[in-house]
Amino acid sequence: MSLTRLLDRFLAYVKIDSQADFRAKTYPSSPGQLLVGQLLLQELHAMGLEEAYQDKNGLVYALIPGNPKAPAIALVAHVDTSPESPGGGVLPQVISRYDGTDIVLQGSKKVLSPSRYPELSAYCGKTLITSDGTTLLGADDKAGVAVIMEAAQRLLEQPLNHGPVMLLFTCDEEIGHGVDHVDIEQLAVACAYTLDGGPSGELDIATFSADRAEVTFTGINLHPSIGKGKMINAVRLGGIFLDRLPRHILSPETTEGREGFIHPYEIQGGVAQTRISLLLRDFQASALDQQEAMLQTLAREIETEFPGAKVEVTRHIQYRNMAEGMAREPRAVTLAEQAMKNAGVVPNLTWVRGGTDGSRLTERGLPTPNIFCGEHNAHSLDEWCCLEEMEESVLTVLELVKLWAKERR
Ligand SMILES: [Zn+2]
């Protein structure tokens, strides 16, 4: 029964187009995010939660009141979906008792195949949900939204001892603005959990530390017919710079696990001025200083070789490894691990080669690990999720709430 309700919720949420839009000047970046928020608000009110509201930025907050002696915690998911694949008009396909063979995506006639994705074989007998192949599914993060909503309803239906639980549904996570408008003081919780992860047991406790660098090459532009001895071509300087960056180490193409990288991802400009944007990534924030030093060294080299050229490196902070901030509330991780065990799930502590809303919240002083909710192949037309994993996520959340009720502030 409750599995059906969980599935129905999920299907209702994915059908609303709430794709984030990089180009938009508004917050949230697309009106569909407000619509998802309104639906959630209606459902929360229908559950009997009086302290639920959507703020002026579209974020939805709700408080499930509980024993005030226990520490309050927050459960967080984002309502937007990735702009990296088409995201409007999602037509979900539900595959009950998956038989381990190719899944035909009816819209594109492409297949989701265990030969390409061997992990599918482990899901025989389970209920899988895909899109029709012409859009992403949006399980990232509507699986998390559905898990939180279902857990909230069960908490209200079968009261168990729990402390105050805040629910928070954010917007525009996929374009890096998920927690821009989150008021941590107002949340007033000991820690938070994002529900925005992969297979059963995944517990993200560390993320990259991340900065962005811009390298600006200023040359001297004049007509090519009279360039001899005078022209300094910034396009060429940029090419030399890129060529001198390490490629066989320290690049996304050649690193994995706990290795960091420098990733040039955008180049624009002309003869007079060219700019290259790079991502700096490592699990140690101090390693980002070394990466910047490397860029500065290359910049000085080129300036020396091309007198008159200017090469300027600027660095902008993006986010920091959540592990650094987790020390503030170590129970955030230990209780999540225990909750998984209590729910019959084997915890798999994971280091994420990226960032999450949780890394930003943690950096701002609110420890926020990320808990699995059954998302697979996020951001792609091959996205799918598993209903039984979503259910395990709900059970984990309920166990987590029970464990926190035994703690004291
Ligand atoms: Zn997500």
186, with CB counted inside 10 A (0-12, 13-18, 19+), is exposed
Q: Is 99 a catalytic residue?
A: no
What rounded mean pLDDT belongs to the chain? 96
Q: Regarding beta strands 191-195 and 370-371, do their DSSP bridges make them parallel or antiparallel, or are they unpaired? A: parallel
Q: How many CB atoms are closer than 10 A to CB 54?
A: 17
Rounded CA separation 241/304 (Å): 13
User: Residue 148's pLDDT is what?
Assistant: 98
Greater model confidence, 292 or 1: 292
pLDDT of residue 176: 87
Of the chain, the percentage scoring pLDDT greater than 70 comes to 100
One-letter amino acid for residue 240 of the chain: I
What's the pLDDT band for 2 if we cut at 50, 70, 90?
Answer: confident
Contacts of residue 370, Cβ cutoff 8 Å, sequence gap at least 6? 193, 194, 195, 196, 197, 202, 203, 204, 352, 356, 358
DSSP three-state, residue 185 = helix
User: How much is the average pLDDT of 65-77?
Assistant: 96
pLDDT of residue 90: 97
Is the pLDDT reported for residue 94 higher than 70? Answer: yes
Alpha-carbon span 177 to 80, nearest angstrom: 11
Which one of 17, 21, 80, 382 is the catalytic residue? 80
Query: 275 C-alpha to center of ligand 1: Å?
Result: 30
- Whether the pLDDT of residue 275 is over 70: the answer is yes
- Domain 209-319 annotated CATH 3.40.50.300: no
The answer, yes or no, to whether residue 268 has pLDDT greater than 60, is yes
What's the CA-to-centroid distance between 202 and ligand 1, angstroms?
A: 14
Where in the sequence of the chain do the CATH 3.40.630.10 domains occur? 2-207+321-405
Q: Is 141 a catalytic residue?
A: no
Given a cut of 80, whether residue 231 has pLDDT beyond it is yes
* Contact between residue 124 and residue 100 where contact means Cβ atoms under 8 Å apart: yes
Q: Global pTM? A: 0.88
What is the average per-residue pLDDT within 224-253?
Answer: 96
Write the pLDDT tens digit of every residue in 350-359: 999 988 889 8
In the chain, ranges of CATH 3.30.70.360 domains: 209-319
Of the candidates 307, 388, 372, the one whose C-alpha atom is nearest the C-alpha of residue 144 is 372
CATH class of 2-207+321-405: alpha beta
- Calculate how far, in angstroms, residue 94's C-alpha sits from the geometric centre of ligand 1: 21
**Which residue pairs from 340-346 have beta carbons closer than 8 angstroms and sit at least 24 positions apart in sequence?**
340/201, 340/203, 340/396, 340/399, 342/399, 342/402, 342/403, 343/392, 343/395, 343/396, 343/398, 343/399, 344/392, 344/395, 345/200, 345/201, 345/392, 345/395, 345/396, 346/200, 346/201
Assigned token pair, 117: 């994705």
CA–CA dist 20, 32 (Å, integer) = 9
Going from the Cα of 80 to the center of ligand 1, the distance in angstroms, rounded, reads 8
Write down the pLDDT at residue 1: 53
Neighbouring residues of the ion ligand 1, judged by CB less than 5 Å: 140-141, 196
CA of residue 196 to ligand 1 center, whole Å: 5
Tell me how crowded residue 374 is: count the other CB atoms within 10 A of its CB: 29
- 115 Cα: distance to centroid of ligand 1 (angstroms): 26
- Judge whether 298 and 290 are in contact, CB under 8 Å: no
| pLDDT tens per residue, range 303-343 | 999 999 999 999 999 888 999 889 899 999 999 999 999 99
Which of the residues 17, 140, 172, 173 is marked catalytic? 173
Question: Is 70 exceeded by the pLDDT of residue 38?
Answer: yes
Quick one: tokens of 76? 């967080």
What are the backbone angles phi and psi of residue 199, rounded to the nearest 5°?
Answer: -70, 165
Give residue 193's pLDDT.
98
Across 184-298, where does the E strand assignment appear? 191-195, 202-207, 209-218, 261-269, 273-282
48 Cα to the center of ligand 1, angstroms: 28
